[in-house]
Amino acid sequence: MMITPETQLQTIPRISPKYAKALEKMSIFSIRDLFFHFPFRYDDFSEMRSIAELWSGQIATIQGTAIKIKNVRTWKKKMHITEAQIQDETGTIKAIWFNQPYISDTLTEGKKVRLSGKISADSSGLYFSNPVWEMESRIPTNTGRLVPVYPETQGLTSRWLRWQIQTFLKLNLEIKDPIPQDILKKLNLPEIKKALKCIHFPNSKDEYLVAQKRFAFEEMFLVQIKSIQVRSSWQKEKSVQIKFNEKLIKKFVDSLPFKLTNAQKKASFQILKDLEKSRPMNRLLNGDVGSGKTIVAEIASVQAISSGYQVAIMAPTEVLAIQHFNNFCKIFKDYDFNIALLTNSYKMFYSCHSALDAESILSKNDSVDSRFRGNDKERIKILEKLKSGKINLIIGTHSLIQKDIRFKDLALIIVDEQHRFGVAQRAYLQQQIENINDGLKNTVPHFLTMTATPIPRTLALAFFGNLDLSILDEMPKDRKKIITEIVGPLERKMKYDFIREEIKKGRQCFVILPLVEDSKILTEVKAAVSEHKKLSEEIFPDLKIGLVHGKLPAKGGSASGGKSKETVMKEFAEKKLDILVATAVVEVGIDIPNASVMIIEDADRFGLSQLHQFRGRIGRGEHQSYCFLFTSSDSGLAKKRLQALVKNSDGFAIAEKDLELRGPGQFFGTRQSGIPDIAMENLTNIKLIQIAREEAQTFLQSDPELKKHLLLKDALQKFDEKVHLE
| Helix or strand (DSSP H, E) at 546 | strand 545-548
Query: Interhelix angle for 293-306 vs 246-254, to 10°?
Result: 140
| Helix or strand (DSSP H, E) at 198 | helix 192-200
CA distance 693 to 634: 43
Of all residues in the chain, the percent with pLDDT exceeding 70 is 84
Structural contact between residues 598 and 627, judged by C-beta atoms closer than 8 angstroms: yes
3-class DSSP state for residue 112?
strand
> Looking at this protein, which amino acid is placed at residue 14?
R
3-class DSSP state for residue 380?
helix
For residue 593, report the phi and psi dihedrals to the nearest 5 degrees: -60, -25
CA distance 414 to 302: 13
Specify the pLDDT at position 517: 43
Specify the pLDDT at position 520: 34
Specify the pLDDT at position 503: 94
CA distance 408 to 394: 12
Higher pLDDT, 108 or 525: 108
Higher pLDDT, 398 or 106: 106
Q: Residue 372 — very low, low, confident or very high, per pLDDT cuts 50/70/90?
A: very low
3-class DSSP state for residue 41?
strand
**Mean of pLDDT values over 163-189:** 93
3-class DSSP state for residue 318?
helix
Specify the pLDDT at position 35: 94
According to DSSP, the β-strands at 125-129 and 79-88 are unpaired
Specify the pLDDT at position 523: 53
CA distance 600 to 482: 14
DSSP per position, 72-90: EEETTTTEEEEEEEEEETT
**Mean of pLDDT values over 389-418:** 85
Mean pLDDT over the full length of the chain: 83
Measuring CA to CA, which residue among 49, 91, 86, 47 is closest to residue 67? 86
Q: Which residues touch 254 (CB under 8 Å, ≥6 apart)?
A: none
Q: Residue 360 — very low, low, confident or very high, per pLDDT cuts 50/70/90?
A: very low
Higher pLDDT, 587 or 312: 312
pLDDT at 659 over 80: no
**Mean of pLDDT values over 688-692:** 84
3-class DSSP state for residue 458?
helix
Q: Residue 147 — very low, low, confident or very high, per pLDDT cuts 50/70/90?
A: very high
Structural contact between residues 486 and 480, judged by C-beta atoms closer than 8 angstroms: no
Chain segment 537-582, per-residue pLDDT in tens: 899 999 999 888 767 766 655 444 467 777 888 788 888 999 998 8
DSSP per position, 508-530: EEEEE----EETTEE-HHHHHHH
Measuring CA to CA, which residue among 283, 221, 223 is closest to residue 725? 223
b (16+ CB within 10 A) / e for 299-311: bbbbbbbbbebbb
CA distance 498 to 107: 64
**Mean of pLDDT values over 672-677:** 48
Specify the pLDDT at position 361: 44
Q: Is 627 exposed, middle or buried (0-12, 13-18, 19+ CB in 10 A)?
A: buried
Left if phi > 0, otherwise alpha if psi is -120 to 50, otherwise beta: which for 27? left
Domains and CATH numbers, the chain: 1-43+150-175 (no CATH), 47-144 (2.40.50.140), 246-472 (3.40.50.300), 483-555+562-648 (3.40.50.300)
For the entire predicted model, the pTM comes to: 0.72
Query: Interhelix angle for 710-722 vs 205-236, to 10°?
Result: 90
Measuring CA to CA, which residue among 508, 444, 482 is closest to residue 628? 482
Specify the pLDDT at position 8: 94
Measuring CA to CA, which residue among 662, 289, 660 is closest to residue 451? 289
Higher pLDDT, 127 or 650: 127
Structural contact between residues 450 and 415, judged by C-beta atoms closer than 8 angstroms: yes
Specify the pLDDT at position 223: 81
pLDDT at 71 over 80: yes
pLDDT at 36 over 60: yes
CA distance 318 to 320: 5
Q: Rounding to the nearest 10 degrees, give the CA dihedral for residues 288, 292, 297, 302.
A: -170
Measuring CA to CA, which residue among 92, 131, 98 is closest to residue 114? 131
Contacts 24+ apart (CB under 8 A), 635-642: 635/604, 637/661, 638/604, 639/486, 639/604, 641/604, 641/608, 642/486, 642/603, 642/604, 642/611
Higher pLDDT, 235 or 6: 6
Higher pLDDT, 129 or 377: 129
Structural contact between residues 86 and 62, judged by C-beta atoms closer than 8 angstroms: yes
**Mean of pLDDT values over 501-507:** 93
Strand partners, 599: 511, 628
Q: Residue 237 — very low, low, confident or very high, per pLDDT cuts 50/70/90?
A: confident
CA distance 448 to 557: 35
Q: Residue 368 — very low, low, confident or very high, per pLDDT cuts 50/70/90?
A: very low
Specify the pLDDT at position 421: 46
CA distances from 3 to 9, 352, 403, 534, 577 (A): 10, 70, 46, 61, 66
pLDDT at 702 over 60: yes
Q: Where are the alpha helices (DSSP H) in 255-414?
A: 262-275, 293-306, 318-331, 358-363, 366-369, 376-388
Residue 335: count of CB within 10 angstroms of its CB: 15
For 275, half-sphere exposure in the C-beta direction (CA atoms, 13 angstrom radius) is 27
Q: Which residues touch 660 (CB under 8 Å, ≥6 apart)?
A: 684
CA distances from 186 to 25, 182, 549, 695, 704 (A): 38, 6, 53, 10, 21
Specify the pLDDT at position 725: 46
Strand partners, 59: 118
**Mean of pLDDT values over 379-392:** 89
Q: Residue 265 — very low, low, confident or very high, per pLDDT cuts 50/70/90?
A: very high
Q: Which residues touch 673 (CB under 8 Å, ≥6 apart)?
A: 423, 463, 680, 723
DSSP per position, 121-180: EETTEEEEES-EEEETTSPSSSSSSEEEE---BTTB-HHHHHHHHHHHHHTT-----SS-
Specify the pLDDT at position 498: 95
pLDDT at 250 over 80: yes
Specify the pLDDT at position 235: 82
Measuring CA to CA, which residue among 723, 103, 24 is closest to residue 424? 723
Measuring CA to CA, which residue among 547, 553, 539, 536 is closest to residue 512? 547
Specify the pLDDT at position 590: 63
183-192, 361-370, 410-419, 545-554: segment of lowest average pLDDT: 361-370
Specify the pLDDT at position 666: 56
Specify the pLDDT at position 105: 87
Higher pLDDT, 513 or 10: 10
Specify the pLDDT at position 287: 85
Higher pLDDT, 442 or 87: 87
Higher pLDDT, 26 or 556: 26
Q: Residue 655 — very low, low, confident or very high, per pLDDT cuts 50/70/90?
A: confident
DSSP per position, 586-639: GSSS---TTEEEEEETTGGGS-HHHHHHHHTTS--SSS--EEEEE-----HHHH
Specify the pLDDT at position 160: 94
43-52, 435-444, 573-582, 638-647: segment of lowest average pLDDT: 435-444
